[in-house]
Structures are given as C-alpha cells and as structure tokens.
Structure 1
Amino acid sequence: MSSITASGIGHAPAEPASRSTATTAPWRRWAQRWIAWPFPLLILLLWYLGAEYEWIAPQVLPSPAAVWATLVDLFRTGEIWGHLQVSLLRVFGGFALGLAVGGALGIAMGLSPVFKDYVYPLFKAFSQVPVLGWLPLLMLLVGIDEALKIILIAKAALVPIALNTYKGIQGVPTRYIEVARVLRFTRWQLLTKVVFPSAFAPIWNGVRYGFTHAWLALVVVELLASSEGIGFLIVYGRQLFQLDVVLAAVVVVGFVGFVLDKALALIEVRLTRWRRAGF
C-alpha cells in the first residue's frame, strides 16, 4: 500500500541506500574526476622521453624543462603579458560584435518565419565559408589593421550564436505558448517570461561555442596578419626557430582558453540557479 509522505501523495518512503552503493559512490566520483588525466600525462611522458633520448632532434622538439624555463622567463620579463593583453582585447571586441549581430539574427529568425525564409538560406551559405576564406576580400576592403581581426573574430563567433539562438527559440514547447495566450500575456511578457527563459540553455551553449570559435579564430588571424599578440609570438618563435617559445605560447593559448571556458560555465551555473531552485 502506498503511503502519504512529505515528498508527496502516493509515494513510498525511500529505501536507505545500500552499503555497496554508499561504498562505490566515492569511487565513482573519484574516477569521474581523474579519468581524463592518464592520457595527457602519457603524452607528457612520451614528450619527456623523446627529448631525453633524442628520438627527435632538440632543435625540433625542446624538452619539457626547456619549455617550462622559457615560459617562466616570458612571464618574468613581462613579455607575455603585453601579447596576452592585446589578444584578449581583440577576442573580447570581436566576440562582443559577433554576439550582438548573431544574437539579433538568431532572435529574428526564431520569431519571424517570414524573416527566416528570406535570410536562413543565405546565412547557411555564409556559415559554410571558413574564416580564412573571407581574409583576401576583407584585406582589400579594410586593410590589415585591427578592423580585419575584429571582423574575422566576430564572424567566427556569430555563426554558432545565431544558430543556437534560432534553434533554442524554435524549440520552446508549444504548450508554454498556449498557456501564455490563455493568461493573456502581452508580446513582451511572452518573450521575457516564456520564450527566452525556455530557450536560455541552447542560447548559452551558442555563446560558449561562439567564444571558443572566437578564441580559435584570434590565434589563426594573429598567425597571418599581426605584429603583436599570442599568435604573433608563435610566428615570431617559428621564424627564429625557437621552438621553446612556440610551445610556451601554445601552452598559454590552451590554458587561457580553458580558463575562459570554465568561467563561462560558472556564469551559466549562477544564471540557471533559479531553474534548479524551481524543481
């Protein structure tokens, strides 16, 4: 017979967790946390052995110790900070532009079927051209100064933001819209209280993907047309055949990208706290 409990009517009280489940839970949490470490550690070990036993010439593959020493020296002298500041300003500027244009485009396509019918085919064709495909044309139009870099970074961020925003709005359940109409919501109330909160998760995924694409595009653009920035530092090290500088800059690129993505994930947790509290 079902019983009446504090958790609801018709639900039997929860059985206490078995000893085996309680014992294996910490192990599972530990495994999920550390399961990603063996592979990169193996790569690092192979790198160390390859440099130690000179499987590859030291001029081509510097040792991890040499790269670490170069990295410390770049931070100690402050050289890396100047390049990193320039790169961050570029990526945030391009991302902000891509977020504004991509968000507006995705909202318009999601809310207006007529606008979507006119624009979506052209947008799909636009999105299929990679960032570097626009480089020659933009160099003729805006030159090789900062505007070129900002536009290319914005293009990289724009596509995933627009697509995820459009699909998020299209994915709002119809029953939510029907309930809002029964409650006589105005159009503004419908958007702010139903559509955007329901579509927040895919929209934010688009923001994260957009920032990742913007960071990748930044490095590519700086590799081709720049006199400062992290990408320029990589090119500079390659031109002087200083592979330790190249690898040190690559480590910085990976670490900064990882930290920025984690920061966006933490922001998402804070922004979606109201959704978890409602369940």
Structure 2
Amino acid sequence: MSAEAELSAVLPREGNAPARSPLPWRRIAADAGDRALPWLLPIALLALWYTGAAQGWISPQVLPPPQFVWETLRDLAKSGDLWLHVGTSFTRVGVGFAAGTLLGLVLGSAMGLSRSFEAYVLPTFNALVQIPVLAWLPFVLLIAGIGEPLKYILIAKAALVPVALNTLQGFRQTPAALREVGDVYGYDRRQQVLEIVLPHAVPTLFTGVRLGFTKAWLSLVVVELVASSEGLGYLIVYGRQLFQLDLVMAAVIVVGAIGYAIDRLLDRLETAVHRRQPGGAVP
C-alpha cells in the first residue's frame, strides 16, 4: 500500500468528519448573552429617564430625576418607614392570599369531581369573576366596614378566581386511559383521586396558585390606594397628595421589585414541580 493510501485510510473523510463541539468561551458568551438580554430594556429605560431629566426634557415636577428617587428610597429605608409599610402589605396579602387559595382549591375540586355541581355553579361563578375588585368595594364596605377585613376579603376574592379555575382544569385533564387502568385495578373513588387525578393535576394547580398570588398582589395595591392608612399603596397615595412624585416613584419601584422577585421564586418552584411529574417535562 502506498503512503498516500495509508494516509487517506487514517485521516477521516470530509463527509464523515466528526462535528466539532463549540468552544467553552463561546458557550459562556452565549449564556451571558441570554442572561443579559432581559435587562437591556430596563437599562435603556433608565438611561432614557436619566438623560431626559439631565437635559430638561421632562419637568422634575412631572418626573423627578432617578437620583432624587434613589435618595428618597434610601431615606425611607434608613428611617424604617419603608419596612413598616412593606410588612403591613405582606401581612394583608398573606392572609388574603391564603384564604383565597384555600377556598379556590375547595371550590375547584368540588367542580372538578362533580359534573352536576359544576353545571350549577360554574356559569354564575364565571359571571361574578368578570366584576373587577373596585366594583366590589362599595358592597363589601357596607358589610365589613373600612378595617382590615375589607382588604382581606377583596384580596381573597382576587386569588380565589385563578386558583379555582386552574383546579377545575387540572382535575379534568387526567387522561381517560389512566382512569381505565384504575378501574382495572379496582380503585375506589378516593384512590382514583389521590393516586391518579391529583398527581396529574399538581402542575396546573401550581400555575393557578402562581396566578392567584399575582392577582392578590395587584389587588392589594388597589385596595390600599382606596382605603388604607398604611402599606405600599397608601405610600403612593400619600406621595401623590403631597405632590412628592419622588416618593410615589420610590413606592412604585418597591411594589414592582417585590412582585417580580416573588413571581420569579414561584416560577422556579413551578419548574421544580413540573420536573417531578411523570416524564419530567418542563413547560
């Protein structure tokens, strides 16, 4: 055999050349780009805000400069007022969200397990959920007064709706084949629910809980804007009444940051729940 033939036998042919794996630095750069992408728009808006305030495009009475807002936020944190209002808001949303979630799970489970109960309740429920929180405020105000129960009831109502609807959907999405397997093994209704229906409904239930918290957090701010003497929503109203828009912006930033952080936490928990399900699929 000639030297050229031996060399061609050892070297891989062009069509069969193994695919080269991407270099480590390219993978790191791609991951860094993916992580930085969601921050591009907030950074651009902050830069536009800062530039507009520095160049006088926007009146400070309309939109205060970022440094003024930061100083106000720092002063609130140092004085302890910020933590007082945050703690009050967390207490309200915690009680209302827990009550609404519990009632939503019970109502959704009852509709999911009984077609006749669903036929009686679901049409009226769908009609009532179209009424916004503020529309319920005068009616609940007559019943519960202007104290803390008013806020708990409205927050619970906001959380109840997505939890109940997602619970109903979760109970109804169990494959019929699995129910038939349960019948073959002689499962009673309790075993069918606990061992077949509920495990497949958990991801949808968790999605409902996540949406329920989002609705509860938004309703908390709305309720505190209308009837409250403490909380982040009250802080926004107080700043508007005094025409201290730096205080308003500081409170808005805190509301958005807390809501975003908790939503990210629930998103991670939801992903972990999905991975524990059969097949380990993540939506």
Q: TM-score, normalised by structure 1?
A: 0.89
Deviation for aligned residue 1:29: 3.0
Question: Aligned partners of 1:111, 1:185: CA distance in 2, in Å?
Answer: 16
**2:250 aligns to what?**
248
The equivalent position to 2:54 in structure 1, one of 35, 49, 52, is 52
Distance 1:112-1:16 versus aligned 2 partners, 3 A rule: farther
Deviation for aligned residue 1:192: 1.5
**2:8 aligns to what?**
none
Deviation for aligned residue 1:30: 3.0
**2:181 aligns to what?**
179
Deviation for aligned residue 1:44: 0.5
| One-letter code aligned to 1:102 | G
Distance 1:278-1:40 versus aligned 2 partners, 3 A rule: closer
**2:14 aligns to what?**
none
| One-letter code aligned to 1:201 | P
The aligned runs of 1:175-254 (5 Å cut-off) are 175-254=177-256
| One-letter code aligned to 1:205 | T
Distance 1:278-1:64 versus aligned 2 partners, 3 A rule: closer
Q: TM-score, normalised by structure 2?
A: 0.88
Distance 1:230-1:119 versus aligned 2 partners, 3 A rule: same
* Aligned residues: CA RMSD: 2.1
User: 2:199–2:277: 8 Å Cα contact kept in structure 1?
Assistant: no
Deviation for aligned residue 1:271: 4.1
Structure 2 residue runs without a partner (length 5+): 1-16
Distance 1:16-1:25 versus aligned 2 partners, 3 A rule: farther
Structure having the higher Rg? 2
Residue-by-residue CA offset, 1:208-257 (whole Å, 9 max, x unaligned): 00000000000000000000000000100111111111111111101111
Aligned length: 265
**2:40 aligns to what?**
38
The aligned runs of 1:20-169 (5 Å cut-off) are 20=22, 25-169=27-171
Percent of residue pairs identical? 50
Residue-by-residue CA offset, 1:108-161 (whole Å, 9 max, x unaligned): 111100000000000000111111111111111111111111111011111111
Deviation for aligned residue 1:18: 3.6
Question: Aligned partners of 1:130, 1:140: CA distance in 2, in Å?
Answer: 17
Structure 1 residue runs without a partner (length 5+): 1-14
